Chain A
Amino acid sequence: MSFQVSKVNDVTVIEVEGQLIVGNRNELKKKVLEKIELGEQTFVIDFANTAYIDSSGLGVLVSLSKKIREHGGELRLSSLSEDLRTLFELTKLDTLFQIAEDKERALEGF
């Protein structure tokens, strides 16, 4: 996995490439926590180039969402493939996250 981090207005956008799985989930967690420590509050994590997320990856997203909310911020997700959306729906995490069709839509209204 690798990820690209950019800033759009005041929103930190993280584009995840590859797989977000048990072997690399902490890389994403560390990056977001660093940004929170720097005072960033609003995040979009984009999965347009993500092949697969396992249960540990889902767990990290839940954990980060809680942490961001504790700091008064908000996390939105975007660009889930049909397969990834299925995993969110099965686990009912689609009810926990705001999920946008693409990152541009995710950025709207922040």
Chain B
Amino acid sequence: MSESTGGDLVLEIPTDIHSISGAVDYVLSRCSSSEVSARKLNLNFRVGLTEALANAMMYGNDHDPSKSVVIEVVMGRDHVQATVRDQGSGFDPGSVPDPTLPENLTRSYGRGLFLMRELLDELWFNDCGNEVTLILRAESCSTFEGGASA
């Protein structure tokens, strides 16, 4: 994992799913100055960032260890923001089915994007779908308020 300047925090990590947990822990450790509550950081932001990194490595970079994932973090007073970019060709986020529909409930995959949408305040993809930006605000009324659209 390498760190450089640019945003508040910019990390480039190799495609290795075993590195996700450590990278997320490190980013969260750097967000303590935000007004976003610790509980929301540890659930909403942790889930969102973990899922974004997993999607980037597994589907974006197709587990290719020669490819990397870049995380850019901006720590605002009233929000935290992370942009995750992979080296894949992207995907259409609108094509991912709702995992809570009865016909999808017993699938063993397909819940990551759904959780990101539910737990973050904003979720934005670039045009080709290989970059996602997650925003979590301090002023959401409840720990689990989110409902991002993308």
Contacts and interface: CB of A to CB of B under 8 A. Distances in A.
Tell whether A and B belong to one assembly: yes
Interface of A: 19, 21-24, 52, 54-56, 58-60, 62-63, 66, 83, 86-87, 90-93, 95-96
Contacts of B119: 90
A79 B12 CA distance: 36
What range describes how many residues of B lie at the interface? 20 to 34
A92 B118 CA distance: 12
A27 to B, nearest CB: 12
Contact of A55 (B39, B112, B143): B112
Contacts, number: 71
Contacts of B106: 62, 66, 96
A105 B27 CA distance: 38
Majority secondary structure of chain A interface residues (helix, strand, loop or mixed): helix
Q: Which 8 A-B pairs have the closest CB atoms?
A: A55-B111, A59-B108, A63-B108, A55-B112, A23-B18, A92-B100, A22-B54, A23-B17
A59 B112 CA distance: 10
Contacts of B100: 91-92
Interface of B: 17-21, 39, 42-43, 46-47, 50-51, 54, 58, 99-100, 105-112, 114-115, 118-119, 143-144
